[in-house]
Amino acid sequence: MKNVVPTFKRPIKSKDEPRTDVSHWDKAMDAYDAKDHRKTIIETINYMNPSLLWGKETNGNIEIDQGQGSAQIHVKVTNDKFLVKAPFLKITENTNKVALFRKIGEINFNPLTLAQIRLRNDTLWFEYEMPVTLAQPYKIYDVLREICVYADDYDDEFVEKYKAGFYQEPNVTPLSEEEKEKVWQQINTILTEWKEYVAFFKEKRWDAFQWDITVISILKIVNMPYVHGNLRTKLQEYVHNLFNGKIDFNHRIDKGNNFMQKLCAKTKDEYMKDIYHAEAFVSLKWRSSTQILQDDAKNMERNVAKYVKDRDNLMLCYYLQYSFLHILYNFNVEEVHKNAIYDVLEEVSGKELHIAAPKLLKTYYGFLDGNTKTSSKSGSKKGLFAKLFG
């Protein structure tokens, strides 16, 4: 096979994917500085998911009731209290209560930092309450995200491991037959290419690049917003492990390869059990802004500069590919940033490395300069990059 950039096609749009509205964050911070506690809460919620308060009266008590996977997130704001409650699991006669409650105790200590899981009438709830006067944007954001993330993550795990019951069935919409076919074609292409690239790297004795193609392949799948359930949980687990520098690098490659082989063995029907549009309270990804993404790009600067200096197109192309995909994995980015990444990954898809490198680098510098544009609006710095990599 030719040593070209792996192909990429952006995911189809998810109908229920929450989008942040960055303009509300500054309003929330201004309200907090002005000690307007109620407006602080309202603007923070608007920042996280503007649709939650659409059509709601916000002058009196505010109540929000929205699903997040199989959990149900209840938020109530009164004149003096901010409360969040989220039932997410049922205790049944088949539940391994001792093991489950031991695990709940561990979770309440870590990773939970604000909310706690309580047992009420055979139902497990996430709960948090504070005076409105202590409402600060970061705190509100953290507690809502914490509850949504862990309710969404732990429900499937606890049902499988401890035989708990779902509190309710998730409010989901199946993909259309046309959507299913497009998604399956994308996944099948990712898996087929992974096998081809691993064989190619083994033949070339470039064993370290097996890590790169495995990371890229897993990120492509987990970044599809309609991937849920146990599939998403396992994909997230392997993303975490592959980027964990405390684990031996060769061990990470071996574990990643074993996981990818399991993904290759799954049937279309097995995949489709965990692929659907799902109602959500907030995005499970971290908040982003131009500054946050600029800081992320600065953390990459040393590696990028080294690959540019060494004229190492192979390292540069793979490094920027998985770094861009990792940004989409970690952050709930604005459309301009998401499209800038999608545009360049599609533009370099299947291209030779010396052609792809300057295009990827141009997008990287856009993030580094805080001046990201989509391909249709991008200015031209082509001459400079062509000189570097021609």
Q: Is residue 16 part of a domain?
A: no
Concatenated DSSP letters of 270-294:
HHHTTB-EE--SS-SSEE--HHHHH
Question: For 292-338, what is each residue's pLDDT tens digit?
Answer: 999 999 999 999 999 999 999 999 999 999 999 999 999 999 889 99
pLDDT at 258 (0 to 100): 98
Q: Are residues 30 and 143 in the same domain?
A: yes
Residue 246 structural domain: 4-8+175-369
Average pLDDT by stretches of 10, the chain with 390 residues: 95 81 92 97 95 92 92 96 97 98 98 97 97 96 94 88 92 93 98 98 97 99 93 95 98 98 98 93 88 97 98 98 98 92 98 98 97 59 39
Question: For 270-286, what is each residue's pLDDT tens digit?
Answer: 999 999 998 889 888 88
User: How far apart, in whole angstroms, are the C-alpha atoms of residue 274 and residue 180?
Assistant: 12
Going by the DSSP 8-state scheme, the letter that residue 4 receives in this structure is B
pLDDT at 136 (0 to 100): 97
Q: Is residue 385 part of a domain?
A: no
User: How far apart, in whole angstroms, are the C-alpha atoms of residue 53 and residue 326?
Assistant: 30
Q: Is residue 13 part of a domain?
A: no
What CATH number corresponds to the domain at position 79? 3.30.1460.10
Q: Are residues 155 and 293 in the same domain?
A: no
Q: Are residues 208 and 153 in the same domain?
A: no
Q: Is residue 86 part of a domain?
A: yes
Q: Are residues 128 and 95 in the same domain?
A: yes
CA distances (Å), origin 108, targets 95, 116, 117, 128: 19, 5, 6, 12
Contact 322, 216 (CB under 8 A): yes
Domain count, the chain: 2
User: How far apart, in whole angstroms, are the C-alpha atoms of residue 305 and residue 36?
Assistant: 46
Q: Is residue 388 part of a domain?
A: no
Q: Is residue 87 part of a domain?
A: yes
Contact 164, 90 (CB under 8 A): yes
Which of these three, 129, 146, 166, is where a domain ends? 166
User: How far apart, in whole angstroms, are the C-alpha atoms of residue 187 and residue 307?
Assistant: 30
CA distances (Å), origin 45, targets 75, 130, 182, 256: 10, 16, 34, 37
Q: Are residues 199 and 260 in the same domain?
A: yes
Q: Is residue 14 part of a domain?
A: no
From first CA to last CA, the distance across the chain in angstroms is 22
Which of these three, 166, 197, 219, is where a domain ends? 166
Q: Are residues 64 and 191 in the same domain?
A: no
Q: Is residue 340 part of a domain?
A: yes
